[in-house]
Structure 1
Amino acid sequence: MHRRAMLLATGGVATVAGCFSTDGTEQADATADFVDSNVLTAPPRDGSTDTSWLRIDIENDTSAPHGRLEAESRVRSEDGTTMVTGEHVTSYLPANTTLRYFVDAEFEVDAVDAVENDVVEANTRVESTQLDDVTVRNTDLSAGGDVLNVTGEFSVGVDEAERLVVVALIYDEAGRLRGTGTDIKYTLDTTEPVEFGANSDGFRAPAGSTPLESYDVVVFDGYT
């Protein structure tokens, strides 16, 4: 594996001037800061041929959760040419959590001069309620290519719901968030358990990266 530390150029940091908890007390600002970027060559976990990778770390170091986040990175050569552009979307970034993701693409690692990062879109306030009275059962994590899917069923303490959003948070052995899967459920009769499949792509990673270890499932009422 060949790694090269890169100059980090951050074009966007998402912040919010303040949000409030359910009891009306003001919470700390939610942030999404690019804290590290790197390029490397290595085979994918499920392959043997070296490819080029972009590794990005985004941190929310506050006590407030961050909502949907779309990030974009551009790998540039010394003359400023954009060699490759990588994008990543996560639906939820918990408080005091670092998100790490990888983008595999065709570029010459030794020709890279800088990586520029931007927040393209950010919901810095979670404008919904995370349900506490939720029981999640029979969960399972499956993988296919760069797609992960967390399946299971949940029960909530209400009889009906117009729109519930299930978010699966996938973590590696170092405790970093590696991405999220989502499933949206409409007009539910919740007197019976509700099946879900929260999935997303963007989980392909190079050999030697920290393995995935665990996942959490949370349910929101009208998540945006």
Structure 2
Amino acid sequence: MEVLLKTENLETFIGQYHILQGVTFEAIRGEVTVLLGRNGAGKTTTLRTILGLSPPSRGKVFFKQKEIQELPTYKTANLGIGYVPEDQGIFPYLTVEEHFKIATKGKGDKVNERIETTLALFPDLKQFWRKQAGVLSGGQKQMLAIARAYINYNELLMIDEPSKGLAPIVVEKVMETLERMKGETTIILVEQNYLMAEYLGDRFYIIDDGKTVLSGEMKELKEHEEWRKKYLGIS
């Protein structure tokens, strides 16, 4: 097993608030690592800290065994880390095609090939290729946000709450797409929907009050109702 990304005792302040107080976890190449926890536990801040959007006051981040916590965000992204924020970051007046072109690095046949490969994973986007993103449904916007991060074949994708605000039938579609992406890229998934996390996850880390308090293989969490009840409020 290759550890693609690793954090050590991350501490992050946002203003005067000490949000992360010791977050440690590993993401294994080719797996889906799920960060779980109640609202406000620090999951989103963890992703933002890794990317450099909310730099840590203490702790380290390693990507392919190299420290990256001091890098500016654009340099971290250029290492091969894609990010799908909770709010999707979609521009309503740009077309699907324009979103792809802005996101894609390089030119020529290889770019066209990457676009076709990505559209094969997200067929709804092909149908709306020349439509403004503002007319897409919530599920289609989420697909666009994920596709935009995936298109450059980033080695790591960090995806924040992809099921948020979506109808159950749409959540199933997002789950199926992420399932097809497994193995082609490494995913760190922040997700409140436990059923999605259980379905997709290989390993889990539970963050509580800004600290990593529990970790293991997802099958272990499935077997321990007391863990789910204590840290996630579910049985």
Q: Which TM class, normalised by the smaller chain length?
A: under 0.3
Larger strand percent: 1
Give the alignment's TM-score, normalised by structure 1: 0.24
Larger helix percent: 2
Structure with bigger RCO (C-alpha 8 Å, 6+ apart): 2
